Structures are given as structure tokens and as C-alpha cells.
């Protein structure tokens, strides 16, 4: 089981790397050329990852920077879906620490994102893990915020649709496969932790079982049967290389590492609920 000290060490490494490329003039990370919420880039996503990491550090002196980044990127002109998964985590884990005006902006952003995802659902057959799992978590989060039973039912139906839970193709590098594995694991743990209350547990449980029995084994195989602490360590090292080089997929690398850190995904557990994620603050 990942310890708080181990988790903190990984967060420290990520935050230190991001500190080095933070640009106060654009209130974001500079290596990917963040310019405007009207023209979102991977740096928008990665700047939100940085904001979440700062909040996870639970240091009052760093919270102002996190709030400024979030406020910059939840501008009403930001296209729906930009950073929706990260904003969902911020809302679930840190909303009580943030100014009410900012949490209202986050909620509005998630409502727009959920509407966009639901519209897309009618124009395609399905997504695949981890994309599908991420979208479902955003839908369920928005349904909770809005107290929207119809949206919640739609999301749970997607969660229990086999076609929407099919595994990814086998062809991928070990790093990409490990990234997919971690994000899928973290996504289901986030759903299990923040959404699956007593009223929904019986509906979500079949999807969790399907994930463990049908989706997890192929993802593990693609990731090279990563064991023990190797998964999280690999993700963080890969993320740091992405930050340092300014690679085009840096946002994807850093999110996988941060998401695994936040949801305490160190390896591939037998049961998703074996290690409790940190409670919402």
C-alpha cells in the first residue's frame, strides 16, 4: 500500500519540476506555449494538473497560485471539456478550501463539459478505456453537482455498456500502456470513492467487476505485467522527462502520474477498494 510519505515524495518531485516552468505573466506553464483559454493547448491541461498538485500539497502558501491558475482556465470562453477530469477531482477533493465564486465557476464548467460529452454520445458508437472511464466520471460528477437524476442514469448506463468498456488494442509502447492502465485504474477508483454511494453501489458494482475481469488483464498485459511499486515510479519518471523536454505528450504523461498519485494507484490491486483514497477535504 502506498504510504503518505511515498505519495508526498512523488508530489514534491512533480511540483518542483512544474515550479521551474511556471510563468506568472500567463498564469500557467510556459513550455507548451499557453496563450489563451480561447485557444486551449496541452499546456492548459497541464497547468490544471499543476494546480491540483499544489492543492494536494495542502500548503496554504501555495494555494493562491493554484486558485489563480484554475480561475484563469475556467473562463466562460474556454471550450467545454478542457480539463474536465482534473476539475472534477478538484471539485470533489478541494471545493471546501476554495472561494465559493471559484467553485461555482468549476461547477458551471463541468456542466458545460457534461452537456458536450452527452451530445457526443449520440454521434458515436463508444469510447474506449481510459477515455470512456474519464468521461463517465465527469458525467457522474456533473450529475452530483446538478442533482440531475437523468444525467446520472445516462452515465451509469454507459458504465455498464460492454461496448463502452472494451479494452484498447494491444499495439502500444510500454510507457503508453502503463499510462492507460494507471488512468483506467484511477478512474474507477475515483468513481468508487466519490460517486458510488449506497444508492448507486449496486448499479456500479457490475461495471467494477467487468473492469477487473475483462479490461484490467489486457491492460496489465500491454503494460508488461508491471508489479509492486514499479507502476507509479515509472509514471512519475516518465512525467518528469516530459516536463523537462517539453514533449508534445507532456500533459498526458503528467496527468497519468498525478492521477495515480492522487488516487493512490501504486500497482494493480486485486480489488480497487483495497486501498482507500484520501478523503475529500
Please count the structural domains in the chain.
1
Residue 33 — pLDDT band, cuts 50, 70, 90? very low
- Report the C-alpha gap between 65 and 22 in whole angstroms: 10
In the predicted model, what is the mean pLDDT of the chain? 78
| Beta carbons within 10 angstroms of residue 121's beta carbon | 18
Residue-number span of the structural domain to which 152 is assigned: 4-274
Does residue 280 lie in a domain region? Answer: no
The grid coordinates of residue 220 equal 496489465
User: pLDDT, tens digit, for every residue of 34-64?
Assistant: 444 444 455 688 899 999 999 999 999 999 9
- Report the C-alpha gap between 38 and 129 in whole angstroms: 28
Does residue 116 lie in a domain region? Answer: yes
Does residue 279 lie in a domain region? Answer: no
174: domain CATH number?
A: 1.50.10
H-type alpha helices, 74-99: 84-94
- Report the C-alpha gap between 65 and 51 in whole angstroms: 7
Q: Let me know: does 179 contact 173? Beta carbons within 8 Å.
A: no
User: pLDDT, tens digit, for every residue of 109-163?
Assistant: 999 999 988 877 665 555 556 778 888 899 999 999 999 989 988 888 887 765 5
Residue 91, pLDDT score: 96
Query: Is this model's pTM higher than 0.85 or not?
Result: no
pLDDT of 95 above 90? yes
Does residue 281 lie in a domain region? Answer: no
Residue 258, burial from CB neighbour count under 10 angstroms (0-12, 13-18, 19+): buried
pLDDT of 269 above 60? no
- Output the CA angle 210-3-67, nearest 5 degrees: 85
Contacts (Cβ under 8 Å, ≥6 apart) of 22 = 28, 29, 30, 50, 65
Picking from 272, 271, 237, the residue whose alpha carbon sits closest to that of residue 257 is: 237
Q: Let me know: does 275 contact 269? Beta carbons within 8 Å.
A: yes
Does residue 188 lie in a domain region? Answer: yes
Amino acid at each position: 500500500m502506498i504510504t503518505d510519505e511515498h505519495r508526498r515524495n512523488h508530489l514534491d518531485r512533480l511540483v518542483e519540476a512544474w515550479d521551474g516552468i511556471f510563468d506568472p505573466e500567463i498564469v500557467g506553464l510556459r513550455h507548451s506555449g499557453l496563450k489563451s483559454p480561447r485557444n486551449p493547448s496541452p499546456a492548459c491541461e497541464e497547468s490544471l494538473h499543476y494546480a491540483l498538485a499544489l492543492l494536494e500539497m495542502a500548503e496554504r502558501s501555495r494555494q493562491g497560485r493554484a486558485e489563480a491558475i484554475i480561475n484563469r482556465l475556467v473562463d466562460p470562453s474556454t471550450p467545454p471539456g478542457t480539463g474536465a477530469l482534473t476539475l472534477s477531482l478538484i471539485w470533489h477533493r478541494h471545493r471546501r478550501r476554495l472561494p465559493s465564486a471559484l467553485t461555482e465557476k468549476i461547477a458551471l464548467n463541468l456542466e458545460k463539459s457534461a452537456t458536450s460529452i452527452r451530445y457526443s454520445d449520440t454521434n458515436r458508437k463508444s469510447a474506449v478505456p481510459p477515455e470512456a472511464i474519464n468521461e463517465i466520471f465527469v458525467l457522474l460528477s456533473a450529475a452530483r453537482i446538478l442533482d440531475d437524476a437523468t444525467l446520472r442514469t445516462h452515465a451509469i448506463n454507459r458504465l455498464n455498456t460492454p461496448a463502452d468498456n472494451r479494452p484498447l488494442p494491444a499495439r502500444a509502447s510500454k510507457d503508453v500502456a502503463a499510462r492507460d492502465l494507471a488512468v483506467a485504474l484511477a478512474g474507477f477508483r475515483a468513481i468508487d470513492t466519490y460517486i458510488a454511494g449506497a444508492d448507486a453501489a449496486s448499479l456500479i458494482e457490475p461495471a467494477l467487476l467487468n473492469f477487473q475481469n475483462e479490461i484490467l488483464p489486457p491492460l496489465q498485459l500491454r503494460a508488461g505485467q508491471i508489479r509492486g511499486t514499479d507502476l507509479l515510479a515509472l509514471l512519475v519518471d516518465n512525467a518528469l522527462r516530459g516536463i523537462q523536454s517539453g514533449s508534445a505528450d507532456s500533459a498526458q504523461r503528467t496527468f497519468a502520474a498525478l492521477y495515480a498519485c492522487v488516487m493512490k494507484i501504486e500497482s494493480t490491486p486485486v480489488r480497487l477498494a483495497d486501498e482507500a483514497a484520501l478523503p475529500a477535504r
